[in-house]
Amino acid sequence: MVLIGVGVIALTTVYGTVFWLRPFWLLKLGDGVIEAIANLPQVGTALSGVLKTLVPLKYHPRVLDAWVEQHWQDAKAGFLKLDTVKDRQIHIPLSVRLDGTASNQLSSKDLSPTFQQKTAVLLITGEGGAGKTSLTCQIALWGLEKCFVAHRLLPVLIETELDDRRTLLEAIGGQLKALINQQDDIPPDLLQKLLQHRRILVIVDHLSEMSETTRQQVTPELAGFPAKALTVTSRLEEPLGKVPKTVLKPLQIEANRLWPFMSAYLKSIHKQDLFVDDEYSDACDRLRRIAGERSITVLLARLYIDHMIQEREGAGGILPDSVPKLMLSYLNRLNQNIDSSQKRDDLEVQRDAQIVAWECLRHTYRPTLVKKEDAIAALKHQEATDDAKARLDYLGHRLQVLQSPEPKDKIRIILDPLAEYLAAIIKRQCHWRVTAMPLAVCHRA
């Protein structure tokens, strides 16, 4: 009896010391080891009870935090390397509407109450090009830096379609494994505990453009839904099972706010010395005329400013005077960076991009993923003697205007507004028959 008492004290002391000083070590214990020892016939009732009491401490929040601290810097580095995040490294604070209340600038403190909930659901909604994904990337970095709660949130970005063979939980595990650059899979029990205790921020990007099969897996109202910290971006005000959620809507740039935005953007990319105040004013006036004196999205403003920069730095060209021309001009500028020996004609690139864009929109009139084979078939209708696959690869690999998420059998235009305007151009041209494109392409449109 005395030996059992000594054993209880010794075991409790050792386990408690490890728990407080080296909590990460508890994860090294093999699953079921303590339970197996506790059930041995020679183990006393008191000692067995203590052993079983210690089992839940393996996934105590303190232990989970130790695991996160071990991996968060790798996770941050991996997150910043994602193409979606790299394309949005420049973040200019914008006006937003948070649960119906307008704010000139969102801060992490505004979202702290959301992420302090036992189940945190944040819906970021708005039109294409409004800056939803850019805002999401900023929120993810805030979570990594403990700006919301006392612990870090590791961001996991879900952009790919899900199905019976690729569930949301499997996608989360695979993405987290890649982020922290770990060879072995994350143990299922550990992954579930990290999700349940909000140590992982699951981000589902562009949900409104995903298939119904994928949408059916984003069900935070179900008790078994894995993510207890969820951020969704969508063009629609998704009901999300009518669970309590925070709704964040980035607002367009008002006409009288173009100058401050332009100044902040140029300063962030160290190009402010290219222009003087009068040129700021003239540029804002031209951009307002293009938009018809209405508010405009962040994307359109940035495309126009980038065009101004290239023109000032010697790239030449004329500033576009309409939104469709701005989109085509954007394609032309991307094409200018290709070596002349491998560069395709600007008009051919525009035509191919318009065909692929329409293929991405023609079923739902919303930018969606399309099978590569269907995009290639659409391009073949344009010119049967040409290599349609090479033309698609040119748009994707050379110009980087296409995105091809795993398992790489589908593609989409990387910017939704670009897809919409390109598709609208080809649709209008085919309707009025003012194009040299074969009739077969117009029939597809």
Render pLDDT for 375-385 as a digit per residue (tens, 0 to 9). 999 888 765 55
The whole-number pLDDT of residue 313 equals 82
The pLDDT tens digits of the residues spanning 289-324 come to: 877 767 888 888 888 888 888 878 876 667 777 888
The three-point CA angle 184-190-195 to 5° equals 115
- pLDDT at site 444: 39
Q: What percent of the chain has pLDDT over 90?
A: 35
Q: Is the pLDDT of residue 258 over 50?
A: yes
| pLDDT confidence of residue 337 | 67
Mean pLDDT of 102-107: 91
pLDDT at 227: 95
Query: Which stretches of 186-339 are DSSP H helices?
Result: 188-196, 212-215, 258-268, 277-290, 298-310, 323-336
Per residue in 25-62, pLDDT (tens digit) is: 666 654 454 555 555 455 555 455 555 555 566 778 88
The whole-number pLDDT of residue 435 equals 38
Q: Work out the end-to-end distance of the chain between its first and last CA atoms, rounded to an integer number of angstroms.
A: 85
Mean of pLDDT values over 177-202: 93
Compute the average pLDDT of residues 241-261. 88
Q: What average pLDDT does the segment 321-345 reach?
A: 80
Per-residue pLDDT at 443 exceeds 50? no
Residue whose C-alpha is closest to residue 74's, from 197, 221, 208, 182: 182
pLDDT, tens only, 356-408: 999 998 888 888 889 999 999 988 876 555 688 999 998 988 887 888 877 78
Phi-psi domain of 122 (left: phi exceeds 0; alpha: psi -120 through 50; beta: other) = beta
Q: Which residues contact 3 (CB under 8 A, 6 or more apart)?
A: none
- The mean of the pLDDT values for the chain is 82
Residue 436 has pLDDT above 60, yes or no: no
Q: Which runs of consecutive H residues, i.e. helices, occur in 383-415?
A: 388-393
Residue 370 · residue 411 · CB < 8 Å = yes
158 close to 203: Cβ distance less than 8 angstroms = yes
- Residue the block writes with tokens 């071990």: 70
Pair 237, 125: CB distance under 8 Å: yes
The two structure tokens encoding residue 211: 């298939």
Cα–Cα distance for residue pair 376/50, rounded to 1 Å? 65
DSSP state of 362: T
d(CA 324, CA 148): 40
Q: What is the dihedral of CA 176, 180, 183, 189, to 10 degrees?
A: -50
Mean pLDDT, to the nearest integer, of 437-441? 37
Read off the pLDDT band of 226 (50, 70, 90): very high
Q: Which residue has the higher pLDDT, 67 or 22?
A: 67
Judged against a pLDDT cut of 50, whether residue 439 lies above it is answered with no
DSSP one-letter string for 184-213: SPPPHHHHHHHHHTT-EEEEE--GGGS-HH
The pLDDT value given to residue 230: 97
| pLDDT at residue 40 in the model | 47
Report the candidate in 184, 190, 186 with the shortest Cα–Cα distance to residue 171: 186
